[in-house]
Structure 1
Amino acid sequence: METEWLRTFIVAAKTENFRETAEKCFMMQSTVTKHIHHLEKELQTPLFERNNKQVKLNSVGAHFLQKAEMIIETIDEALNSTASFVNGFTSQLTIGVAPQIANSTLPLIVGMFQQKRPTIQLSIELLKSNEIGEAVYAGQVDIGLSKLSSTRNLQTEILAQEPLQLIVPMSKKETDVLTLLQQETILTHEYAPYWQEVQQVLQQFPCYKSMQLNQTELIKNFVKQGLGIAFLPKSVIDSDHQHQLLFSCSVKEFQHIVSNTYFLTKYFTADSDAFFEVCQNIYRANK
């Protein structure tokens, strides 16, 4: 049984369309038909119901699809593992990371970790903060870097507690804070755990208006285009502030509000310990 037959079958089973399968697999439709025919001959049973030019997965095909996916997953894992070994990697860590962290401190963390532990292969999964704890608990990732803690029974460490900075367009950097808060749209993040505290303080400033966005990079781009202002953690806006792409400042009424960054793992190992140490060093250096 050829693995290529299995890969073709998996796509065909999910599309129930041999022409579409051919397009997705970059092969001729006649090749798709041959692969399915060879597989059915090997298994000694049809996998599809055929009606003119239409095909539909039958009950045997549906059962075999689960097995085929398991076989291909095992083969791919073995190939990837062997390739890593050949390239000098002795182990692997999968990191689930929130976009806000991925777009700010993660490159520094990865760069330092690769220098210190070059034989550990890193794999990065971009996840929302509210998904990371579950991914760690389910074993989908080894480590989580999140802006939210988890209700699951995980090893949880706070990497940073950063003060919020008010960010404004460069064209309005001379405008006083009270005017900004009363006249500009305040852009908020869907999963920012500090937003409720920000709202409580904003009640001191009548008639403020807000808009919810679901990505930090989008918030920063809106601010740069003069479409609002926002409160974001220091590490997220440092680079843009240094390059004068936006202006940031501390506002005394909001100084008590912080944004936490969490390190989540189910079990501490030598590899995860090493990664945690690098994370700590990066966040300490960027205070």
Structure 2
Amino acid sequence: MDINWLRTFITAAENENFRKTAEKLYMAQPTVTAHIKQLERDVGTQFFRRAGRNIVLTEAGHRFLPHARLILSSYDRGTHDLLAWEQGYKRKLSIAVSPLLAASILPYIIRQFMEQHMDVEVIVQVKESKEISEMVEKGEADLGLLQMKPVQSLLDVQKIKEDDVICVCPHDGGDLESSPPIDIHDLFENQTLFTYNHPEYWDDLLSAIHAKHHKIRTMVVTQVHITKRFIEEGLGFSFLPKISLHRELMEGRLLEVKTPGLQLPKASTYMIIREDTEENRLFQAFLREYFSY
């Protein structure tokens, strides 16, 4: 039995279409058909039947699918472990991290950690904060870094950082020294406010804004990096964690706007773990020194 036959079978079962399977696996459709026929011949049963232009699993196919997934998963883990061993890794640390952190502080943190612990293989999975909690709880990641406090009671949760949230708007191309300061009231009256790009502080912030500004135009943009791009293009303004704006502010692509009378929130970064492993302790100690929490 060829491991590629199993990979083709699983993909076909998930897509119920040989053409889509071929596209997903970057192979010709006749190759997909050949893999399925070879697997069926090897096992001695039929796994699919035609349903118009699509295919559906037979009863035998349904019964074999979880075993195929288990075999393929075991094979992939084994080859990955061998490759890691050949590269000198003795331990592994899987980190699930939110997009905001992945695009801001994570590269520096990972580089520093790997320089100190060259025998630890670091695997980074970029996920939304809600997904990170579930991954750590299920054991799909050893450690999570995210922007919202998880509700799962089995996790060890530590707040490792608080960052200022600031108002930012696009640079208008003028001279910063001679231009008058940007009026936050003018932004609220004439510009679109991009909201909910951070999972934790927007409900309270919008309530505070509505108490002072009754007519504001908003647009939900759920990713920080997309929000920044929209602002740079002059489409509106937003309130973002300062940690995510270092380069844009330094290069003058975005401008910080003062907000007198409006108390801005903090953006928290949390670390979550489920099991107290040696690799987790190493990374926790590193973060504790890095953030001094």
Matching residue of 1:161 = 162
Contact 1:198–1:254 (CA<8 Å) still a contact in 2?
no
Whole-Å separation in 1 of the counterparts to 2:204 and 2:12: 51
Aligned to 1:44: 44
Percent identity reads 28
1:86 aligns with 2:86: yes
- d(CA) in 1 for partners of 2:3, 2:242: 50
Distance 2:261 2:130 in 1: 28
Distance of aligned partners of 1:240 and 1:129 in 2 relative to their CA distance in 1, 3 Å threshold: same
Q: Secondary structure at the match of 1:253?
A: coil
Separation in 1 of the partners of 2:213 and 2:33?
68
- 1:181 to partner: Cα distance: 3.0
State whether residues 164 and 255 of structure 1, in contact with CA within 8 Å, keep that contact through their aligned partners in structure 2.
Answer: no
> In the alignment, what sits opposite 2:208?
201
Matches of 2:233 and 2:244 in 1, distance apart?
18
What stretches of structure 2 of length at least 5 have no aligned partner?
none
Give matches, 1:161-240, under 5 Å: 161-171=162-172, 174-202=181-209, 203-240=211-248
Deviation at 1:49, TM superposition (A): 3.3
Which residue does the alignment assign to 2:269? 261
Deviation digits for residues 8-56 of structure 1, max 9, x if unmatched?
Answer: 3223334444455455545555554444343333323222336999754
- Matched residues, number: 285
Work out the CA distance in 2 between the residues paired with 1:175 and 1:188. 20
Letter matched to residue 163 of structure 1: D
The one-letter amino acid paired with 1:197 is D
Distance 1:197 1:10, change over 3 A: closer
> More displaced, 241-250 or 223-232?
241-250
SS at match of 2:85: helix
Paired residues for 1:48-67 under 5 Å: 48-49=48-49, 56-67=56-67
Q: Which residue of structure 1 lines up, in the alignment, with residue 149 of structure 2?
A: 149
Which residue is 1:113 aligned to? 113
**1:50–1:250 Cα change, 3 Å:** closer
Structure 2 CA distance for aligned equivalents of residues 219 and 52 of structure 1: 44
Stretches of structure 1 that go unaligned for 5 or more consecutive residues are: none
Deviation at 1:110? 1.0
Contact 1:108/1:282, CA 8 A, preserved across alignment: no
| 1:117-137 residue CA offsets vs partner (Å, 9 max, x unmatched) | 111111111111122212111
Q: Which residue of 2 aligns with 1:129?
A: 129
Aligned-residue Cα RMSD (Å) equals: 2.6
Q: Output the amino acid matched with 2:194.
A: L
Alpha-carbon contact 2:160-2:291 (below 8 Å) kept: yes
**Mean alpha-carbon deviation: is it higher for 97-106 or for 200-209?**
200-209
| Partner AA of 2:164 in structure 1 | P
Residue type of the partner of 1:102? Answer: A
Task: State the one-letter code of the partner of 1:7.
Answer: R
Alignment of 1:97-108 (within 5 A): 97-108=97-108
